[in-house]
Amino acid sequence: MNEATAIQIKKPDASEIVHRVDIQVREADGFQITSLGDHEISLLRERDLRIAEKALTDLFEPSRKAAQAAKTEILRLRDSQIGPIKAARMLYGDGNTAWELKKKAEAEAEEARLRAEAEKQEEERKIQDAIEAEERGEDPDAVLSEEVTVPVPEVKPEVAHVAGSSVRTLYSAEVTDLLELVKFAAANPNWVHVLEAAMPVLNGLARSQRESFKFPGCKLIKSHSRATRSS
154-205 pLDDT tens trace: 888 888 888 888 777 777 888 888 898 889 988 988 888 888 888 888 899 8
| 76 and 62 share one domain | yes
**For position 193, what pLDDT does the model report?**
82
Q: Contact at 8 Å (CB) between 143 and 126?
A: yes
* Burial state string for 156-174 with b = 16 or more CB within 10 A and e = fewer than 16: eeeeeeeeeeeeeeeeeee
**For position 34, what pLDDT does the model report?**
96
**For position 230, what pLDDT does the model report?**
61
Q: Domain end: 129, 145, 171, which one? A: 171
The residue segments making up the domain with residue 112 are 15-171
Least confident range from 11-20, 36-45, 198-207: namely: 198-207
| 150 and 51 share one domain | yes
pTM as predicted: 0.56
Torsions phi, psi for 165 (to 5 deg): -120, 125
| 90 and 153 share one domain | yes
Query: What DSSP string runs through 152-211?
Result: -----------TT-----------S-HHHHHHHHHH-GGGGGG----HHHHHHHHHHHGG
| 101 and 207 share one domain | no
- For the segment 23-52, the average pLDDT, to the nearest whole number, is 95
Q: Is residue 7 part of a domain?
A: no
**Average of per-residue pLDDT values in the chain:** 88
Asked whether the predicted pLDDT for residue 122 surpasses 90, the reply is no
Which is nearest to 193 in space by CA: 181, 204, 203?
181
86-98 pLDDT tens trace: 999 999 999 998 9
Confidence of residue 4 (pLDDT cuts 50, 70, 90): low
What's the structural domain count of the chain?
Answer: 2
5-16 pLDDT tens trace: 677 888 999 999
| 114 and 133 share one domain | yes
| 56 and 144 share one domain | yes
Confidence of residue 1 (pLDDT cuts 50, 70, 90): very low
| 81 and 128 share one domain | yes
User: What is the percent of the chain with per-residue pLDDT over 90, rounded to a whole number?
Assistant: 46
